[in-house]
Structure 1
């Protein structure tokens, strides 16, 4: 069980880096008003400057991704497949974007948010699920 959690955590770490890269690319392309991966801790960004993630926000986002990977691996019992991984990641995104994220004031629900940001975040979570499954499967090989 411990090995499974470690594999999932490693997959979650790599997947979070990939998801963050998609968010950064969306930001550089000008389709994100501010990076939500840098807004995991509630509170408005400064109005006079573009929001930059505080270390605590980045660590919280990374920790959430790592923990989510470990949970996924435990739930799937190490038998990850691509549809399951992508579904898991999109379910986590939907639950966050329609649940705790708007409740604590990080972002509005995706139904009222900018459609470009929602698309970038959905794509990032598809990549998260893909990288998670690929990593877990690679680490599970004999």
Structure 2
């Protein structure tokens, strides 16, 4: 269980790095006005109306902490099993929805989805889908148990696979 938690945290951090690169591109394209990690950090510091010293660092730390904690949740839920990539992508969709429909509007960082700019939300949605996909790939890569593909199949199906692809007999030593 602890390994799944740690793998999820590491996978979440790796996926957050990928997502952060996309955020930088969206910011340079003018889609964000202000990257979400910086905006969230500014809300926690006094004097919200103007940039504060350290808000970029605080925002980056908070962003990776949030990404790692969300990754830990999927790591625990997966119980060390392979995570299908579409499940990771859907998980990224859930994180985006609850973050930008629930958390961000409740703390005044962004308006609710229907009232926000479509370009910003499209960039954030794409980033979270990318984050979830990268998380699934990272979790699958970090798994310690590399069971053969047939390990999870039902016994009858496994037997059919063995008939088609029999296990080679060991060659006796001479």
C-alpha separation in 1, matches of 2:49 and 2:25 = 20
C-alpha separation in 1, matches of 2:70 and 2:49 = 26
Larger Rg: 2
User: What do residues 28-78 of structure 1 show as CA deviations (whole Å, max 9, x unaligned)?
Assistant: 1122211113222326452xx7xx943222211110000100111101222
Q: Which residue of 2 aligns with 1:24?
A: 24
Q: Which residue of 2 aligns with 1:134?
A: 137
* Preserved CA contact (<8 Å) 2:16 2:67: yes
Q: Which residue of 2 aligns with 1:112?
A: 115
1:88 equivalent in alignment to 2:81: no
* Preserved CA contact (<8 Å) 1:40 1:61: no
Q: How does 1:58-69 map onto structure 2 within 5 Å?
A: 58-69=60-71
Q: Which residue of 1 aligns with 2:34?
A: 34
Equivalenced residue count is 138
Gap runs ≥5 in structure 1: none
RMSD (Å), alpha carbons: 1.7
Q: Which residue of 2 aligns with 1:78?
A: 80
- Structure number with the bigger relative contact order (C-alpha 8 A, sep ≥ 6) is 1
Q: How does 1:97-108 map onto structure 2 within 5 Å?
A: 97-108=100-111
Gap runs ≥5 in structure 2: 147-174
User: What do residues 72-117 of structure 1 show as CA deviations (whole Å, max 9, x unaligned)?
Assistant: 1101222311111111111111011111211111111122111111
TM-score (norm 2): 0.73
